[in-house]
Amino acid sequence: MPTPPTLDDLRRYAVARTLFTPTTLLTAIRRLGFVQADPIRAPARAQDLTLRHRVKGYQAGDLERRYSRLPIEEDFLVNYGFLPREHLSLMHPRVSRRPWDASTRRKAAEVLAFVQERGAVHPREVDQAFAHGRVTNYWGGTSNASTHLLDGMHYRGLLRIARRDSGTRIYAVAEHALAEGGKAARLQRATALIDLVVRKYAPLPSASLTYLARLLGYGAPHLAAEIQQALRLARERLAGCIIDGTTWYWPAEENPRSRRYQADEQVRLLAPFDPVAWDRRRFELLWGWVYRFEAYTPAAKRRFGYYALPLLWRDQVVGWANVTAKDGALQPDIGFASASPMKDVLFRNALDDELERMTRFLAG
Protein backbone atom coordinates (compact mmCIF):
# COMPACT_ATOMS: atom_id res chain seq x y z
CA MET A 1 0.00 0.00 0.00
CA PRO A 2 1.45 3.43 -0.95
CA THR A 3 2.73 5.61 1.88
CA PRO A 4 0.11 8.28 2.62
CA PRO A 5 1.19 11.91 2.27
CA THR A 6 1.99 14.10 5.24
CA LEU A 7 0.70 17.62 5.74
CA ASP A 8 4.08 18.87 4.47
CA ASP A 9 3.54 16.85 1.29
CA LEU A 10 0.08 18.34 0.82
CA ARG A 11 1.43 21.85 1.36
CA ARG A 12 4.09 21.44 -1.34
CA TYR A 13 1.56 19.78 -3.63
CA ALA A 14 -1.01 22.58 -3.13
CA VAL A 15 1.55 25.20 -4.18
CA ALA A 16 3.48 23.41 -6.93
CA ARG A 17 0.54 21.93 -8.84
CA THR A 18 -1.07 25.32 -9.47
CA LEU A 19 2.06 27.48 -9.84
CA PHE A 20 3.06 25.72 -13.02
CA THR A 21 5.71 26.95 -15.46
CA PRO A 22 4.39 30.16 -17.11
CA THR A 23 2.73 29.46 -20.43
CA THR A 24 0.36 31.17 -22.88
CA LEU A 25 -2.74 32.99 -21.65
CA LEU A 26 -5.18 30.48 -23.15
CA THR A 27 -3.22 27.48 -21.89
CA ALA A 28 -3.04 28.95 -18.40
CA ILE A 29 -6.81 29.55 -18.27
CA ARG A 30 -7.45 26.02 -19.51
CA ARG A 31 -5.10 24.57 -16.91
CA LEU A 32 -6.75 26.58 -14.16
CA GLY A 33 -10.23 25.83 -15.49
CA PHE A 34 -11.59 29.08 -14.09
CA VAL A 35 -10.15 32.46 -13.03
CA GLN A 36 -12.16 34.43 -10.50
CA ALA A 37 -12.77 38.08 -11.34
CA ASP A 38 -12.96 41.05 -9.01
CA PRO A 39 -13.33 44.74 -9.94
CA ILE A 40 -11.06 46.13 -7.20
CA ARG A 41 -7.70 47.31 -8.49
CA ALA A 42 -5.20 47.34 -5.61
CA PRO A 43 -2.71 47.42 -7.23
CA ALA A 44 -4.36 45.38 -10.03
CA ARG A 45 -7.51 43.34 -10.49
CA ALA A 46 -7.60 39.85 -9.00
CA GLN A 47 -7.74 38.11 -12.39
CA ASP A 48 -4.57 39.89 -13.49
CA LEU A 49 -2.82 39.18 -10.19
CA THR A 50 -3.69 35.50 -10.59
CA LEU A 51 -2.57 35.20 -14.20
CA ARG A 52 0.72 37.08 -13.86
CA HIS A 53 2.31 34.09 -12.09
CA ARG A 54 1.16 31.66 -14.76
CA VAL A 55 1.42 33.50 -18.10
CA LYS A 56 4.77 34.31 -19.61
CA GLY A 57 5.37 38.06 -19.89
CA TYR A 58 1.90 38.88 -18.56
CA GLN A 59 1.06 42.54 -17.87
CA ALA A 60 -1.92 44.06 -16.09
CA GLY A 61 -4.89 44.30 -18.45
CA ASP A 62 -3.72 41.64 -20.91
CA LEU A 63 -6.80 39.51 -20.26
CA GLU A 64 -9.18 42.34 -21.10
CA ARG A 65 -7.12 43.39 -24.13
CA ARG A 66 -6.94 39.88 -25.59
CA TYR A 67 -10.28 38.50 -24.44
CA SER A 68 -12.21 38.96 -27.70
CA ARG A 69 -9.56 37.06 -29.68
CA LEU A 70 -9.54 33.98 -27.45
CA PRO A 71 -12.09 31.15 -26.97
CA ILE A 72 -12.83 32.19 -23.40
CA GLU A 73 -15.93 33.61 -21.72
CA GLU A 74 -16.98 35.69 -18.79
CA ASP A 75 -19.49 33.53 -16.98
CA PHE A 76 -20.52 32.00 -13.67
CA LEU A 77 -19.12 28.90 -11.96
CA VAL A 78 -18.62 28.91 -8.18
CA ASN A 79 -18.48 32.68 -8.56
CA TYR A 80 -18.00 35.12 -11.45
CA GLY A 81 -14.94 35.01 -13.67
CA PHE A 82 -13.31 33.77 -16.85
CA LEU A 83 -13.32 30.21 -18.17
CA PRO A 84 -12.61 28.29 -21.37
CA ARG A 85 -15.55 28.43 -23.77
CA GLU A 86 -15.81 24.65 -23.85
CA HIS A 87 -16.93 24.62 -20.21
CA LEU A 88 -20.13 26.55 -20.98
CA SER A 89 -21.89 23.42 -22.25
CA LEU A 90 -21.61 21.99 -18.73
CA MET A 91 -23.94 24.71 -17.45
CA HIS A 92 -26.09 25.88 -20.34
CA PRO A 93 -28.98 26.13 -20.87
CA ARG A 94 -28.89 27.54 -17.34
CA VAL A 95 -32.18 27.75 -15.50
CA SER A 96 -32.26 30.51 -12.90
CA ARG A 97 -33.74 30.00 -9.45
CA ARG A 98 -35.41 33.40 -9.92
CA PRO A 99 -37.99 32.91 -12.70
CA TRP A 100 -38.97 35.95 -14.74
CA ASP A 101 -42.53 37.19 -14.88
CA ALA A 102 -44.26 37.78 -18.21
CA SER A 103 -43.31 41.47 -18.30
CA THR A 104 -39.60 40.73 -17.80
CA ARG A 105 -39.68 38.00 -20.45
CA ARG A 106 -41.23 40.47 -22.91
CA LYS A 107 -38.56 43.09 -22.14
CA ALA A 108 -35.81 40.49 -22.53
CA ALA A 109 -37.16 39.46 -25.94
CA GLU A 110 -37.17 43.10 -27.07
CA VAL A 111 -33.62 43.65 -25.87
CA LEU A 112 -32.45 40.41 -27.48
CA ALA A 113 -33.85 41.55 -30.85
CA PHE A 114 -32.16 44.93 -30.34
CA VAL A 115 -28.78 43.28 -29.69
CA GLN A 116 -29.21 40.90 -32.64
CA GLU A 117 -29.81 43.86 -34.93
CA ARG A 118 -26.71 45.76 -33.76
CA GLY A 119 -24.30 42.89 -33.15
CA ALA A 120 -22.87 44.28 -29.91
CA VAL A 121 -24.21 46.92 -27.52
CA HIS A 122 -23.13 49.05 -24.59
CA PRO A 123 -25.58 49.05 -21.65
CA ARG A 124 -26.04 52.79 -22.19
CA GLU A 125 -27.49 52.10 -25.67
CA VAL A 126 -30.05 49.72 -24.21
CA ASP A 127 -30.99 52.20 -21.52
CA GLN A 128 -31.41 55.00 -24.08
CA ALA A 129 -33.53 52.81 -26.36
CA PHE A 130 -35.85 51.34 -23.72
CA ALA A 131 -35.72 53.64 -20.64
CA HIS A 132 -36.38 50.77 -18.25
CA GLY A 133 -35.84 52.99 -15.20
CA ARG A 134 -34.61 51.74 -11.83
CA VAL A 135 -35.13 48.50 -9.92
CA THR A 136 -34.50 47.31 -6.39
CA ASN A 137 -31.36 45.17 -6.38
CA TYR A 138 -30.46 42.14 -4.26
CA TRP A 139 -28.93 44.34 -1.53
CA GLY A 140 -32.01 46.53 -1.04
CA GLY A 141 -30.70 49.52 -3.00
CA THR A 142 -31.60 50.56 -6.53
CA SER A 143 -29.77 50.00 -9.77
CA ASN A 144 -30.28 50.68 -13.45
CA ALA A 145 -33.05 48.39 -14.71
CA SER A 146 -31.46 47.92 -18.15
CA THR A 147 -28.16 46.87 -16.59
CA HIS A 148 -30.03 44.53 -14.25
CA LEU A 149 -31.90 42.97 -17.19
CA LEU A 150 -28.71 42.56 -19.23
CA ASP A 151 -27.08 40.81 -16.26
CA GLY A 152 -30.03 38.43 -16.06
CA MET A 153 -29.93 37.71 -19.78
CA HIS A 154 -26.21 37.01 -19.54
CA TYR A 155 -26.74 34.66 -16.61
CA ARG A 156 -29.45 32.75 -18.50
CA GLY A 157 -27.21 32.35 -21.54
CA LEU A 158 -29.13 34.67 -23.87
CA LEU A 159 -26.22 37.10 -24.08
CA ARG A 160 -22.46 36.87 -23.73
CA ILE A 161 -19.75 39.40 -22.99
CA ALA A 162 -18.18 40.26 -26.35
CA ARG A 163 -15.52 42.51 -24.81
CA ARG A 164 -15.10 45.33 -22.31
CA ASP A 165 -14.70 49.01 -23.08
CA SER A 166 -12.89 50.76 -20.21
CA GLY A 167 -14.14 48.02 -17.93
CA THR A 168 -17.78 48.15 -19.09
CA ARG A 169 -19.29 44.94 -20.44
CA ILE A 170 -20.25 45.01 -24.11
CA TYR A 171 -22.98 42.48 -24.84
CA ALA A 172 -23.62 40.29 -27.88
CA VAL A 173 -26.07 37.47 -28.55
CA ALA A 174 -24.81 34.19 -27.14
CA GLU A 175 -24.26 31.23 -29.42
CA HIS A 176 -23.57 28.59 -26.78
CA ALA A 177 -23.66 24.94 -27.76
CA LEU A 178 -26.57 23.60 -25.72
CA ALA A 179 -26.04 20.42 -23.76
CA GLU A 180 -28.19 17.30 -23.88
CA GLY A 181 -30.88 17.15 -21.24
CA GLY A 182 -31.24 13.43 -20.45
CA LYS A 183 -30.72 12.09 -16.94
CA ALA A 184 -27.41 10.38 -17.74
CA ALA A 185 -26.13 13.45 -19.59
CA ARG A 186 -27.05 15.71 -16.66
CA LEU A 187 -25.13 13.51 -14.24
CA GLN A 188 -22.18 13.47 -16.63
CA ARG A 189 -22.13 17.28 -16.70
CA ALA A 190 -22.39 17.46 -12.91
CA THR A 191 -19.49 15.02 -12.60
CA ALA A 192 -17.40 17.14 -14.96
CA LEU A 193 -18.15 20.24 -12.86
CA ILE A 194 -17.07 18.49 -9.67
CA ASP A 195 -13.87 17.37 -11.41
CA LEU A 196 -13.24 20.90 -12.65
CA VAL A 197 -13.27 22.43 -9.16
CA VAL A 198 -11.27 19.54 -7.67
CA ARG A 199 -8.56 19.99 -10.32
CA LYS A 200 -8.47 23.71 -9.59
CA TYR A 201 -8.41 23.66 -5.79
CA ALA A 202 -6.89 20.29 -4.78
CA PRO A 203 -5.95 19.09 -2.27
CA LEU A 204 -9.32 19.74 -0.65
CA PRO A 205 -10.45 19.08 2.91
CA SER A 206 -13.75 17.19 2.92
CA ALA A 207 -15.73 20.19 4.17
CA SER A 208 -14.30 22.36 1.38
CA LEU A 209 -15.31 19.82 -1.25
CA THR A 210 -18.85 19.91 0.12
CA TYR A 211 -18.79 23.72 0.09
CA LEU A 212 -17.59 23.87 -3.52
CA ALA A 213 -20.35 21.50 -4.59
CA ARG A 214 -22.86 23.87 -2.99
CA LEU A 215 -21.27 26.86 -4.74
CA LEU A 216 -21.70 25.09 -8.08
CA GLY A 217 -25.36 25.85 -7.60
CA TYR A 218 -24.43 29.38 -8.68
CA GLY A 219 -23.26 28.25 -12.10
CA ALA A 220 -25.63 25.30 -12.53
CA PRO A 221 -28.66 25.71 -10.23
CA HIS A 222 -30.71 23.37 -12.43
CA LEU A 223 -28.22 20.54 -11.76
CA ALA A 224 -28.40 20.71 -7.96
CA ALA A 225 -29.61 17.12 -7.48
CA GLU A 226 -27.10 15.73 -9.97
CA ILE A 227 -24.25 17.69 -8.37
CA GLN A 228 -25.03 16.12 -5.00
CA GLN A 229 -25.07 12.68 -6.60
CA ALA A 230 -21.79 13.43 -8.39
CA LEU A 231 -20.31 14.59 -5.07
CA ARG A 232 -21.17 11.29 -3.39
CA LEU A 233 -19.62 9.36 -6.28
CA ALA A 234 -16.55 11.61 -6.28
CA ARG A 235 -15.75 10.76 -2.66
CA GLU A 236 -15.50 7.12 -3.74
CA ARG A 237 -13.26 7.61 -6.78
CA LEU A 238 -10.98 10.49 -5.74
CA ALA A 239 -7.70 9.76 -4.01
CA GLY A 240 -7.49 10.84 -0.41
CA CYS A 241 -6.15 10.42 3.08
CA ILE A 242 -6.88 11.40 6.68
CA ILE A 243 -4.46 13.68 8.54
CA ASP A 244 -5.16 14.77 12.12
CA GLY A 245 -8.82 13.88 11.72
CA THR A 246 -9.31 15.79 8.45
CA THR A 247 -10.11 13.88 5.26
CA TRP A 248 -8.38 15.28 2.16
CA TYR A 249 -9.20 14.65 -1.52
CA TRP A 250 -7.32 15.12 -4.80
CA PRO A 251 -7.48 13.73 -8.37
CA ALA A 252 -6.88 9.98 -8.43
CA GLU A 253 -4.16 10.26 -11.09
CA GLU A 254 -2.01 12.61 -8.98
CA ASN A 255 0.41 11.70 -6.20
CA PRO A 256 1.08 14.50 -3.66
CA ARG A 257 4.29 12.75 -2.60
CA SER A 258 5.74 12.88 -6.11
CA ARG A 259 9.05 14.68 -6.52
CA ARG A 260 7.51 16.72 -9.32
CA TYR A 261 5.74 18.80 -6.66
CA GLN A 262 8.59 20.87 -5.28
CA ALA A 263 8.54 24.49 -4.23
CA ASP A 264 10.94 26.93 -5.84
CA GLU A 265 12.89 29.71 -4.12
CA GLN A 266 10.61 32.55 -5.23
CA VAL A 267 8.60 34.99 -3.19
CA ARG A 268 5.17 35.59 -4.69
CA LEU A 269 2.48 38.14 -3.88
CA LEU A 270 -0.77 36.31 -4.56
CA ALA A 271 -4.25 37.56 -5.35
CA PRO A 272 -6.70 37.12 -2.45
CA PHE A 273 -8.58 34.68 -4.73
CA ASP A 274 -5.54 32.82 -6.07
CA PRO A 275 -6.05 29.02 -5.97
CA VAL A 276 -3.31 28.82 -3.33
CA ALA A 277 -5.24 31.08 -0.95
CA TRP A 278 -8.89 30.99 -2.05
CA ASP A 279 -10.05 28.23 0.30
CA ARG A 280 -9.69 29.83 3.73
CA ARG A 281 -10.38 26.54 5.53
CA ARG A 282 -7.59 24.82 3.62
CA PHE A 283 -5.35 27.83 4.11
CA GLU A 284 -5.59 27.57 7.91
CA LEU A 285 -4.98 23.81 7.88
CA LEU A 286 -1.91 24.10 5.64
CA TRP A 287 -0.30 27.24 7.06
CA GLY A 288 -1.58 27.43 10.60
CA TRP A 289 -2.99 30.96 10.60
CA VAL A 290 -6.18 32.71 9.53
CA TYR A 291 -6.08 34.98 6.48
CA ARG A 292 -9.04 37.21 5.67
CA PHE A 293 -9.99 39.41 2.75
CA GLU A 294 -10.94 42.73 4.35
CA ALA A 295 -11.78 45.10 1.50
CA TYR A 296 -15.39 45.21 2.71
CA THR A 297 -14.48 45.28 6.42
CA PRO A 298 -14.68 48.69 8.18
CA ALA A 299 -11.18 50.17 8.29
CA ALA A 300 -11.08 50.24 12.09
CA LYS A 301 -11.68 46.49 12.24
CA ARG A 302 -9.07 45.43 9.68
CA ARG A 303 -6.08 43.40 10.77
CA PHE A 304 -4.49 42.80 7.37
CA GLY A 305 -5.49 45.88 5.38
CA TYR A 306 -7.78 46.87 2.54
CA TYR A 307 -6.39 44.47 -0.09
CA ALA A 308 -3.82 42.25 1.58
CA LEU A 309 -1.98 39.97 -0.84
CA PRO A 310 -0.87 36.65 0.70
CA LEU A 311 2.93 36.50 0.74
CA LEU A 312 4.23 33.11 -0.40
CA TRP A 313 7.86 32.10 0.05
CA ARG A 314 8.82 28.64 -1.17
CA ASP A 315 5.90 26.53 0.07
CA GLN A 316 5.01 28.73 3.06
CA VAL A 317 2.57 31.63 3.17
CA VAL A 318 4.52 33.68 5.69
CA GLY A 319 2.48 36.88 5.72
CA TRP A 320 0.77 39.48 3.56
CA ALA A 321 1.38 42.79 1.81
CA ASN A 322 -0.70 45.80 0.83
CA VAL A 323 0.91 47.28 -2.26
CA THR A 324 0.50 50.76 -3.67
CA ALA A 325 2.32 52.37 -6.58
CA LYS A 326 3.49 55.98 -6.58
CA ASP A 327 5.48 57.60 -9.38
CA GLY A 328 6.21 54.16 -10.83
CA ALA A 329 7.65 52.83 -7.57
CA LEU A 330 5.98 50.18 -5.42
CA GLN A 331 5.34 50.86 -1.77
CA PRO A 332 4.64 47.56 -0.02
CA ASP A 333 3.33 47.45 3.54
CA ILE A 334 4.27 43.96 4.73
CA GLY A 335 3.08 41.97 7.73
CA PHE A 336 4.11 38.53 8.91
CA ALA A 337 2.03 35.78 10.50
CA SER A 338 4.82 34.87 12.93
CA ALA A 339 8.57 35.47 12.98
CA SER A 340 9.77 37.82 10.26
CA PRO A 341 12.10 36.25 7.67
CA MET A 342 13.58 39.66 6.76
CA LYS A 343 16.93 38.75 8.36
CA ASP A 344 17.31 36.00 5.77
CA VAL A 345 19.24 37.43 2.82
CA LEU A 346 17.70 34.81 0.49
CA PHE A 347 14.21 36.00 1.41
CA ARG A 348 15.09 39.68 1.00
CA ASN A 349 16.60 39.06 -2.41
CA ALA A 350 13.60 36.98 -3.49
CA LEU A 351 11.24 39.70 -2.24
CA ASP A 352 13.14 42.34 -4.22
CA ASP A 353 12.84 40.15 -7.31
CA GLU A 354 9.10 39.80 -6.81
CA LEU A 355 8.62 43.54 -6.40
CA GLU A 356 10.59 44.09 -9.60
CA ARG A 357 8.38 41.55 -11.40
CA MET A 358 5.25 43.30 -10.13
CA THR A 359 6.61 46.68 -11.25
CA ARG A 360 7.02 45.34 -14.80
CA PHE A 361 3.57 43.71 -14.61
CA LEU A 362 1.90 46.98 -13.60
CA ALA A 363 3.70 48.89 -16.35
CA GLY A 364 1.32 47.29 -18.85
Contacts of 276 (CB under 8 A, 6+ apart): 14, 15, 18, 19, 270, 310, 312, 317
Domain with CATH 1.10.10 in the chain: 102-173
Name 50's Cβ contacts closer than 8 Å, sequence gap at least 6: 32, 35, 36, 270, 271, 273, 274, 275
Q: Residue 243: beta bridge partners?
A: 246
Residue 192 confidence (pLDDT):
98
Look at residue 143 in the predicted model and tell me its pLDDT.
54
pLDDT higher than threshold 60 for residue 135 = no
pLDDT at 326: 81
Q: Is the pLDDT of residue 136 over 60?
A: no
> Does domain 102-173 match CATH 1.10.10?
yes
pLDDT tens across 52-69, in order?
Answer: 999 999 999 999 999 999
Q: Taking residues 264-282, what's their average pLDDT?
A: 97
Q: How far apart are CA 205 and CA 250, in angstroms?
A: 9
Give pLDDT, residue 144: 77
What does the pLDDT read at residue 1?
Answer: 60
The answer to whether residue 134 scores a pLDDT higher than 60 is no
| 70-93 residue pLDDT tens | 999 999 999 999 999 999 999 999
pLDDT at position 132 is 58
pTM of the model: 0.93
pLDDT on residue 133: 53
- Indicate the range of 119-123, 137-141, 182-186 predicted with least confidence: 137-141
CA-nearest of 221, 211, 106 to 156 is: 221
**Arithmetic mean of pLDDT, 259-268:** 93
* pLDDT band at residue 139 using 50, 70 and 90 as cut-offs: very low
Identify the pLDDT of residue 364: 73
Structure confidence at residue 124 (pLDDT): 92
pLDDT digits (tens, 9 = 90+) for 3-61: 899 999 999 999 999 999 999 999 999 999 999 999 999 999 999 999 999 999 999 99
The pLDDT, as a whole number, for residue 358 is: 96
Mean pLDDT to the nearest integer, 339-353:
96
Query: Does the bond joining 43 to the residue before it have cis omega, within 30 degrees of 0?
Result: yes
Higher pLDDT, 131 or 276: 276
